[in-house]
Chain A
């Protein structure tokens, strides 16, 4: 694949990511936002492949699209009564928010593009990184890996405890 095809594919996925992220933010309907977030996460996963982090891209698909997005959709369904046909979200501070949005994009792009050239290292990541991730996980990042597993276990137990169906509370009403 030559350079031109590669950059066309890159711009395609970049456009998908940015446009659907804008749709997530600007859409008034929560369901539409949730489905636009699906396309944003797919686009970001494709960008991860461009950054030769294929394992992270697959993890992104499994965890974000398969887990977090479904959880968010469940949240939308739970917190809206069936009678309420239009699931809207109101806005506040629109003008300061828009000013901040434009200023932040402009400021960051100005900083990135004017503070001199980046100097990439000699040995960039090439091809697949799966094997190196395995080696790093079992050597340098052993303790953080175990801590992450404990944090995930505790957080999910706590979430299940917080969101459980409260029978005693229900009987009071």
Chain B
């Protein structure tokens, strides 16, 4: 019972493991490029939870700062990736990644 009521390091690591695996599953199985991007966001959130967890239980500020930079880079990544997806849609009239197989128009 002690293991379940006292919230410790392992609880957060469990959630982040589940989030990471679900994001990986989305990247592997979905054909829609936007759902793949959502999976990447899930993976980044899982990594952020890990950084903050170890930072909290270690007492240092390194994990907190790195998770801030991860959020900044996630914003940049989402903007560029969506611009690319919109260009793919203009060229191929679809966002199905398994039918995008050429770099020329």
Number of interface residues of B (CB under 8 A): 73
What are the residues of chain A within 8 A of B100 when measuring CB–CB? none
Chain A residues with CB under 8 Å of B38's CB are: 24, 33-34, 37, 72
Q: Give Cα distance in the complex from A67 to B4, angstroms.
A: 35
Interface of chain B, main secondary structure: helix
A77 to chain B, nearest CB (A): 10
The residue of chain A having its C-beta at the shortest distance from the C-beta of B96 within the complex is A90
Whether B68 and A56, one on each chain, are in contact in the complex, defined by CB atoms closer than 8 angstroms, is: yes
Other A-B contacts than A53-B56, A108-B13, 18 sampled, CB-CB below 8 A, are A21-B42, A25-B22, A44-B49, A51-B49, A59-B71, A63-B75, A71-B78, A71-B79, A100-B24, A109-B14, A122-B59, A129-B64, A151-B76, A152-B75, A155-B76, A156-B79, A158-B83, A163-B82
What are the 5 tightest A-B residue pairs by CB atom distance, in nearest-first order?
A155-B76, A89-B32, A162-B83, A163-B83, A108-B17
Some 30 contacts from A to B, beta carbons below 8 A apart, are: A4-B5, A10-B11, A18-B18, A24-B26, A33-B35, A33-B38, A37-B42, A40-B45, A44-B19, A44-B45, A44-B49, A50-B12, A53-B67, A56-B64, A68-B78, A71-B82, A75-B34, A93-B29, A94-B29, A101-B22, A104-B21, A120-B57, A129-B61, A129-B64, A140-B65, A148-B72, A155-B76, A158-B80, A163-B82, A163-B87
